[in-house]
Amino acid sequence: MKTQVQTEVDTAAETDVNPFMVYHFGKIKNDGNASMRNLLGGKGANLAEMSSIGIPVPPGFTIPTTMCTYYNEKGQVLPNELKDEVNEAIKLMEEQTGTEFGSESNPLLVSVRSGARVSMPGMMDTVLNLGLTDIAVQGLATKTNNERMAYDSYRRFIVMYADVVKGFNGEDFEHIIDAAKAKAGVEQDTELNIEQLKEICLELKELYAKLSGEDFPQEPREQLYSAINAVFDSWNTERAMLYRKIQNIPSDWGTAVNVQAMAFGNKGVTSATGVAFTRNPSTGEKTYFGEYLINAQGEDVVAGIRTPLPISAESAKAKGLEKQSMEEVMPETFAELTAVFETLEQHYTDMQDVEFTVEEEKLYILQTRNGKRSGFAQVKIAVDMVEEGLVDEKTALGRVEPGSIEQMLSPIFKAEDKANAKDQLIGRGLNAGPGAASGVVALTAKKAEWYKEQGFPCVLVRTDTSPSDFGGMMAAEGVLTVRGGATSHAAVVARQFGKPCVCGLTGLLVNEENKTITFGNQVIKEGDNISIDGCTGEVFFCKIETSPSEISQAFIEKCIDPKDSEVCGHYEKIMTWADKFRTLKIRTNADTARDLNVALSLGAEGVGLTRVEHMFSDEQRLLLLRQVMLAKDEEIKTLALNHIEHFLKDDFSALFQTLDGRPATVRLLDPPMHEFMPHSDGDTAKTAKAIKVTEAELKSSLGDMAEHNPMLGFRGCRLGILKPELTRVQVRAILTAALELNNALIPCKPEIMVPIIMHENELIHQRNLIDKVAEELFAELNIKVAYSVGTMIELPRAALQADEIAKHADFFSFGTNDLTQTTLGISRDDANHFLPTYKNGVSDPLTGTGNFEVYPDDPFQTLDQSGVGKLVQVGVKGGRSTSENLKIGICGEHGGDPASIDFFHRTGLDYVSCSPYRVPVARLSAALSAIRN
């Protein structure tokens, strides 16, 4: 087994004080290594690491992330000394490359790129070909004997500089190039000749001068200082901030800036540029997966402006592009490249995402990073790497995000549904992000966001995507692009966020003006239905219903054999390893045998919460509860209670039978009463009849019962104390069901849980009542069954008084939904009026900008660890101070949230209980917590 190179974020603080303002990389001077990513960013750290292991990397230097923090704290200024260090570093690059900044015979050109601790693909800015001036462009032409390439690079630089450094609208500059192509009667940039390119450069500079009021800068160092500032500025663009929010990346991490000598992929037919993954990032297969463009620069591939060609002969053949792959066109360089892939994978022991450039047959590696991959690929690569002996099981598990398991469980299109829609199948693009998506066509990111707000699932359809489409991609169910390959921005982002994505559907015409999309003679409009299959690349102009995933089909519906599904095989392996390392037990919240069966198929080890009130959703049963609560006639009440005991017993029997000896926690009734009372006139009339009172009498009783804050009102144990007959029938039903099972030799020891306890006396009351009812029942039936009585801890006072409460409880279960509601004073029902705004950020009173985040997460989804979490810790400590081995679980929604599960693991809980479909995520999260802590 190899020692793994540290590539994950090193949270152990690297030194705060930064002794250098620049860190060199390259053969001659190399200051960094892969473990310094907090300081140098992922890109900078890996450039240094690659240099040190002999990978061909053009030399350069990294300005660390601490400088970005400085820049932002000091109001967008950098220390004066930085310029001196940058100038020194440039000198060293000049020495190493034998070039000179601004030279008329042999100019140094550099790229200036961002690079944070964790990769944020396409979210920040880059400037290429920096150093070109009216003089240097001639120097480049002379040196390379390639005047066309020199002016091609110059025009690219002017546009990028205007866009990134000056913030001018890039499209205004692109218009000049489009107009020149139209005038020359050519379609591709590569078809423009030298004179046309020179003319374009002149026009671009004129537009620049007009917009900025000054000439295009002719001093390379000035260009460089401005570009460094611009890259630091791009840390705070809207899209970068949105990305950070979604990915939970702290805004004070900052980005590094990497300045690197340019390698030229646009020097003619022996030059090229490309992006490749050492394995397929969509499926996880162990095949070289990448794309390249001859005579082009890196941005052309990443931005998806030209559809690139596959690097491997096999993929080219599969796409009908015989003889066009890099493997066939540049066989020697391809062999060199794949040797580098092997070295990198072995060195980093992970799948790599590599950017490369071939300059007149010489290969350069410009970047490597751990490749982003779909959930399916995460799982397959993890499993394969263990089998290849590259990593151990723990490391492999650490490479699988809990969300990817959710992706594996998400719906697909069934083969027969696709066959039925075959007349609407319009084509097949690249299967860039697995999964099925169906919805209405949205042609812009804004429109996708709008559809989402209106509640319509949509598919974002774009000619190509740019990072500014990020918000729309997040809002859409899936993404379809006309151009761009499987390494384009759209594909990388889609895979990362589990969005189904089809790229490069050549032949599709997107007309934003007419709001139509056309393929051949088929036209549909924005708002019409479309379906995309990101596993196969198929696109249909119609709606196709999605169906359960292979995992659902194999383990829940049991309609396919898991042995016939590779996905199921991988899933089972990951889950087996997870179960091996986790210490937390995983239970489920289930109210019916059906839900419970789903949860058990997905690995639940018992029930942590059955909400008895959910057994009253049927109209007839609801009426019975209303009779108990509202009838004046005792006979009606008694009859209703008998019925309730009867059907509850049947429901519990079904649950206990399904559990087959696993633990079962049944929580006594906890209905916020308003949810169970009649609201419409028709319902009121029916209820009045059932309880034999007039409608007016019923309305009067309802008026008496009405509460302003039902969530803080007559619910939980308060109901059981004031209406003991309700506790009585529930306990009888639970215990009779358990007795029946025991008689059938199925072990069953129910755990009866009392809700909404705030004072130990409430629990004492209910416990005494439960024990008395049990005693009576056992005497009546002449047989006993073991049971335990515990309580929910879901009010702050209960957590604070846990030591007293534990004297009367056999177990605790934290109800973090109510504990959050009552600790934060935010109603579970009304939080949406303001919480999303708190999370998205409001206007900052000091700066007037809209990025003051009041509260970072939804506390009802992910536990507020510093507030509610503290109460959980107090509750655990208090409970166990009275009863050392007190069993403690959690059954609020947070039981299925990975970050919260990590907290519960660290706090020493015995189990988490979550909804059935989150069980696999909880199993994996629990294992990851055990491995981490």
Smallest gap, in angstroms, from Cβ of residue 556 to Mg ion?
Answer: 28
The one of Mg ion, ligand PEP, none whose footprint includes residue 144, by CB under 5 to 8 A per kind, is: none
Which residue stretch of 120-128, 706-714, 813-821, 911-919 sits at the interface with Mg ion (rule: CB under 5 A)? 813-821
Per CB under 6 A, residues contacting ligand PEP are 609, 611, 670, 794, 815-818, 891-892
Examine residue 139 and tell whether it contacts Mg ion (CB under 5 A): no
Given a contact cutoff of 8 angstroms between Cβ atoms, the answer to whether 752 and 785 are in contact is no
**CB nearer ligand PEP, residue 68 or residue 792:** 792
Least distance between ligand PEP and beta carbon 829 (Å): 11
Q: Residue 667: beta bridge partners?
A: 611, 753
Rg (CA), the chain: 32
Phi and psi, residue 617, nearest 5°:
-75, -25
Residue 489 appears among annotated catalytic residues: yes
The answer to whether residue 152 forms part of the interface with Mg ion (CB under 5 A) is: no
Which lies closer to ligand PEP via its Cβ, residue 609 or residue 655?
A: 609
Q: How far apart are CA 798 and CA 804, in angstroms?
A: 9
| DSSP helix/strand/coil, 889 | strand
Say which entry of ligand PEP, Mg ion, none residue 224 contacts (CB below 5 to 8 A, set by partner kind). Answer: none
- What, of ligand PEP, Mg ion, none, does residue 625 touch, CB below 5 to 8 Å by kind? none
Q: Single out the segment in contact with Mg ion by CB under 5 A; choices: 229-237, 250-258, 387-395, 793-801.
A: 793-801
Q: Which tokens hold the place of 257?
A: 């800036």
Q: Interface with Mg ion includes 794 (CB under 5 A)? A: yes
Q: Toward ligand PEP, which CB reaches closer, 374 or 816?
A: 816
Q: From CA 369, how far away is CA 304, in angstroms rounded? A: 20
Which does residue 892 bind out of ligand PEP, Mg ion, none, counting CB within 5 to 8 angstroms by kind? ligand PEP
For residue 347, which of 45, 116, 7, 44 has the smallest C-alpha distance?
7
Which partner from the list ligand PEP, Mg ion, none does 311 bind, CB cut-off 5 to 8 Å by kind?
A: none
Please tell me the total number of residues recorded for the chain in this structure. Answer: 933
Is there a contact between 891 and 599 (Cβ–Cβ < 8 Å)? no
Q: Which stretch binds Mg ion (CB under 5 A): 9-17, 334-342, 365-373, 789-797?
A: 789-797
Q: What share of the chain is helix, strand, coil (3-state, %, to 5)?
A: 50, 15, 35
828-861 in b/e form (b: 16+ CB < 10 A) is eeebeeebeebeebeeeeeeeeeeeeeeebebbe
Residue 357 binding target from Mg ion, ligand PEP, none, CB below 5 to 8 Å by type? none
Of residues 290 and 879, the one with the C-beta less far from ligand PEP:
879
**Residue 400 to residue 571: CA distance in whole angstroms:** 11
Name the catalytic one among 489, 570, 894, 905: 489
CA 176 to chain CA centroid, Å, is 39
**Closest to ligand PEP by CB, 609 or 769:** 609
Provide the sign of the torsion angle of the four alpha carbons 160, 165, 170, 173, taken in this order: negative
Q: Is there a catalytic annotation at residue 68?
A: no
Q: Is 818 annotated as a binding residue?
A: yes
DSSP-assigned beta bridge partners for residue 365: 356
Kindly indicate which of the ranges 35-43, 311-319, 703-711, 794-802 contains the residues binding Mg ion, using the contact rule CB under 5 A. Answer: 794-802
The H-assigned helical ranges of 303-330 are: 313-318, 326-329
**613 touching Mg ion, by CB under 5 A:** no
- Closest separation in Å from C-beta 821 to Mg ion: 8
Task: Identify the three-state secondary structure at position 737.
Answer: helix
Which CB, 233 or 794, lies closer to ligand PEP?
794
**3-state class of 273 per DSSP?**
strand
In a 13 Å sphere around the CA of 693, the CA atoms on its Cβ side amount to: 20
| Calpha distance 235→256 (Å, rounded) | 10
Whole-number minimum distance, CB 718 to Mg ion, in Å? 13
The mark string for 744-783 relative to Mg ion (x by CB under 5 A, - otherwise) is: ----------------------------------------
- State the Cα–Cα distance between residues 904 and 917, nearest whole angstrom: 19
816 a known binding residue?
yes
How are strands ordered across the β-sheet holding 508-511?
508-511, 516-519, 522-525
Query: Residue 774: which of Mg ion, ligand PEP, none does it interact with, CB under 5 to 8 A by kind?
Result: none
Q: Is 611 annotated as a binding residue?
A: yes
- Shortest CB 712 distance to ligand PEP, Å: 12
Q: What is the DSSP letter of 843?
A: -
* CA–CA gap between residue 411 and residue 457 (Å, rounded): 14
Question: In the numeric block, which tokens belong to residue 487?
Answer: 């390494």
- Residue 863 Cβ vs ligand PEP, minimum distance, rounded to whole Å: 11
d(CA 597, CA 916): 9
Minimal distance, residue 863 CB to Mg ion, in Å: 15
Binding segment for Mg ion (CB under 5 A), chosen from 341-349, 562-570, 810-818, 869-877, is 810-818
C-alpha dist (Å) from residue 790 to 45, 330, 712, 888? 53, 71, 21, 10
Q: Which does 550 bind (CB under 5 to 8 A by kind): Mg ion, ligand PEP, none?
A: none
Q: How far is the CB of 670 from ligand PEP (least distance, A)?
A: 6
Cβ at position 874, least distance to ligand PEP in Å: 17
| Residue 816 binding result from Mg ion, ligand PEP, none, given CB thresholds of 5 to 8 Å by partner type | ligand PEP
Give the nearer residue to Mg ion in terms of CB position, either 393 or 794. 794
Residue 52 sits at the vertex; the CA angle it makes with 46 and 58, to the nearest 5 degrees, is 70
815 part of the interface to Mg ion, by CB under 5 A: yes
Q: Cα separation of 461 and 137, whole Å? A: 39
Beta bridge partners of 510: 517
Quick one: which H or E segment has residue 231?
Answer: helix 220-233
Q: Which is nearer to ligand PEP, 365 or 891 (CB)?
A: 891
Please say whether the beta carbons of 156 and 298 come within 8 A.
no
Contact yes or no for 57/47 (Cβ under 8 A):
yes
CB of 55 to Mg ion, least distance (A): 56
What residue has token string 């308060």? 718
Cβ proximity to Mg ion, 537 vs 710, nearer residue: 710
- Determine if 504 is a binding residue for Mg ion (CB under 5 A): no
Residue 327 near which of ligand PEP, Mg ion, none (CB within 5-8 Å, type-dependent): none
Q: What is the footprint of Mg ion within residues 366-425 (CB under 5 A)?
A: none
CB of residue 760 to Mg ion, shortest distance in Å: 18
Question: Site for Mg ion (CB under 5 A): how many residues?
Answer: 3
Annotated ligand binding at 597? The verdict is no
Cα–Cα distance, 151 to 439 (Å, whole number): 45
- Active-site pick, 68, 891, 905, 914: 891
Cα–Cα distance between 801 and 809 in angstroms, integer? 12
Closest to 610 measured CA to CA, from 591, 586, 596, 587: 591
Q: Which tokens go with 482? A: 């006309």
605 annotated binding-site participant: no
Amino acid letter for position 484:
G
For ligand PEP, give the closer residue by CB, 815 or 869: 815
At which residue do the structure tokens 């050519």 appear? 186
Residue 376 vs 616, nearer CB to Mg ion: 616
Binding status of residue 818 toward Mg ion by CB under 5 A: yes
Tokens 């008026």, residue located = 703
Binding site members for Mg(2+): 794, 818
Q: Which residues bind Mg ion (CB under 5 A)?
A: 794, 815, 818
Q: Which residues are annotated as a binding site?
A: 611, 667, 794, 815-818
Residues with a known catalytic role: 489, 891
Q: What residues are designated binding site for substrate?
A: 611, 667, 794, 815-818
